[in-house]
Structure 1
Amino acid sequence: MTRAYRELRDEYVDVWDRFDALFAFRPSMHDFPAITEPPPSVTWRLGDPDDDRFVEVVRAAVTALAGDGSILCLDWQHTCYRVWPALVGPDNLDPPGDPGWPLSPYPDGDYHVYLAEDFRLGTFGHPWEWTLCVFGADLLDLVEADLHRLLGPPVRRDGAPAA
């Protein structure tokens, strides 16, 4: 069995410190956005939590861009993972009996982040603003049209209110 993901242990603090520094992470239930959204980025309001069709769009794009490499899946103040998206699937149970991705891009009460290892692209799910920020030109090229169709018009572009 091939391991599709593993828990970040020793590097957990370093990854979050780097994320904080690059994105000026400001966790808050009231002040939005919680990061400095880098150009290029687009932020959409999330809808019904039971309608997670956008999750598959994001995962397919991240998988295509990662190739055989890994990404980081971060859950603020919880267990975080290094994931090899090409290996995630029903034949790759990790841990045994637990198929699929360890985290969704949909924030479930905490911030959820999908992040390229070099931090150049990813997603930032905000649990209190109910938004998803997608950043990085390569990732946006693959998801923007589908996310616009599924989630509606964006609320921000490059951190500024969308026109």
Structure 2
Amino acid sequence: MSIETLGDAEYRQVWSRFYAEFAFRPSTDRFEWPGIDEPAGSATWSLSALDDDPGYLLLDRMVAVIQRGLASCADELYALDWHHESYRFPTSAKDWPLSPFPDGDYYVYLTPDFRLGTFGHPWEYTLCVFGEALVTAISAEVTEVLGEPLRRSA
């Protein structure tokens, strides 16, 4: 399997399910944040530690940790970019579409069964990691890069 751009029907289906299951509330208004109902057991980090990263070393490390963690927990993912092309791809792919870093829009990595993934919020400037196996696999390293989580969902 290779990286596939989602067709219109699958794109609408995946995003509709994401809206419903995560109560997705896109908004630039801080009173509407965090933007999703963060799943039980999730952890959310501020991305502000990446602000003083002129060589992008911290960003590169964070991306590598998350990709390694996702690949250890899943064989296939969706890479969702709100209102833009989104993808389905194998975690064994050499180059992944998108990034967990929300570069100007909501970016989501998500397993097809929606059990684990990441949610990058561009205006809150946070990254939520959810799914027990993924949180367990990457929390320590993400905390080394980004600092202690802002919140954990019980």
Report the Cα distance in structure 2 between the residues aligned to 1:115 and 1:40, rounded to whole angstroms.
Answer: 16
**Structure 2 matches for 1:12-91, cutoff 5 A?**
12-30=11-29, 31-46=32-47, 47-48=49-50, 50=56, 51-52=58-59, 53-66=61-74, 69-86=75-92, 88-89=93-94
Q: Give yes or no for contact 1:43–1:131 (8 Å, CA) kept in 2.
A: yes
* Alignment-derived partner of residue 140 in structure 1: 135
Decide which of 3, 6, 10 is 2:4's aligned counterpart. Answer: 6
Report the Cα distance in structure 2 between the residues aligned to 1:75 and 1:106, rounded to whole angstroms.
Answer: 11
**Structure 2 residue ranges without an equivalent (≥5):** none
Report the Cα distance in structure 1 between the residues aligned to 2:81 and 2:17, rounded to whole angstroms.
Answer: 15
Q: Residue type of the partner of 1:8? A: L
Identical residues among aligned pairs (%):
49
Report the Cα distance in structure 2 between the residues aligned to 1:128 and 1:83, rounded to whole angstroms.
Answer: 27
Q: Give yes or no for contact 1:4–1:85 (8 Å, CA) kept in 2.
A: no
**Structure 1 residue ranges without an equivalent (≥5):** 90-99
Structural RMSD (CA): 1.2
- As a proportion of its length, which structure holds more helix? 2
Report the Cα distance in structure 1 between the residues aligned to 2:133 and 2:25, rounded to whole angstroms.
Answer: 26
The DSSP-based 3-state class of the residue aligned with 2:50 is: coil
Q: Give yes or no for contact 1:44–1:132 (8 Å, CA) kept in 2.
A: yes
TM-score (norm 1): 0.85
Q: Give yes or no for contact 1:124–1:133 (8 Å, CA) kept in 2.
A: yes
